[in-house]
Amino acid sequence: MGMMDGKAVLVTGAGRGVGRGIALAMAEAGAAVVVNDLGVSISGEGQDEASPAEQVVEEIRSAGGKAVANHDSVSDWDGASRMVKASVDAFGRIDGVVNNAGNLRDVIFHKMTPDDFRAVIEVHLMGSFNTSRAAAPFFKEQGSGAYVHMTSSSGLVGNFAQANYAAAKMGIVGLSKSIALDMQRFGVRSNAVAPWAWTRMIDSIPTETPEQQARVEGLKKLDANKIAPFCVALCSDAAAEVTGQIFGVRNNEIYLFSQPRPVRTAHTAEGWTPETIAERVFPQFANDLYPLHRSGDWFTWDPV
């Protein structure tokens, strides 16, 4: 008996990389899988003639599993609804949604265009909303369901030239927590996962300096398939009490991230003025202000 026997799961962006690994692992655990993938470039343009989604479906079926392909865009509300309907039509139910589909438009902020920003928000943040909202009525009716949303250390910690991506990924954290709060009463869970993996999404990182080259060589050790077991566990009944959390997976390391809470406070009976804030509050908080770390500054060790 697999942990996902009898369940059906939608995995978006499942034609390659992290999503492919998750789809295959879900099927291996017994789930029927809707494999969604547009088959486009990392910027969201163009389309492959040979569908990556169909290839993954064939892998699953060849191993004795159940799967169907879907080629809709998560950024399209009607398309997201069709993904969920594909699961209900083919398998009679839907039990999990893994929001993995993504794109990149990396540009330093003062050169970023509205189109660069909007294109990434539409896929990551709006896409996660669209598929999650499409599945919500089914989850509510059956009194169960699990969402897994992909966030990123680029938002949780920081990175250069990714204001659009970071904003979307932090928006997903808020979305996940809100879903967890709103749908807990219906037995529905929602969690966010920050994956570390070497995929075509990060294959475009510059390697112009020795430091950049060393970082990329470290990133190449990050196996995209290592994210899958955690996502399967989160969607299974074994995680019935796990919701509203932020996790990270980095090869064989699993992290539980903190969430924003006050760490220092300042008060005065007289009320504050701009001058007294400058004189007292900023110095008082100085030792606890967060430095401008990037993800690579914090996660400096080789993956385990």
Distance of CA 84 to the CA centre of its chain: 18
Gyration radius from the chain CA atoms = 21
Residue 118 tokens, joined: 């909007």
What would you measure as the largest C-alpha separation in the chain, in angstroms? 73
Residue that has been written with the tokens 């990396």 in this structure: 106
User: 192 phi and psi, to 5 degrees?
Assistant: -115, 145
Residue 16 to residues 122, 200, 246, 270, 298, Cα–Cα distance (Å): 20, 9, 24, 60, 28
Based on the residue annotation, tell me whether 165 is a catalytic residue of this protein: yes
Residue 227 to residues 74, 170, 259, 284, 294, Cα–Cα distance (Å): 21, 19, 21, 41, 22
- Which helix or strand (DSSP H or E) is residue 16 part of? none
With beta carbons less than 8 A apart as the criterion, state whether 189 and 136 touch.
Answer: no
User: 299 phi and psi, to 5 degrees?
Assistant: -95, 80
- Active centre residues (catalytic): 165
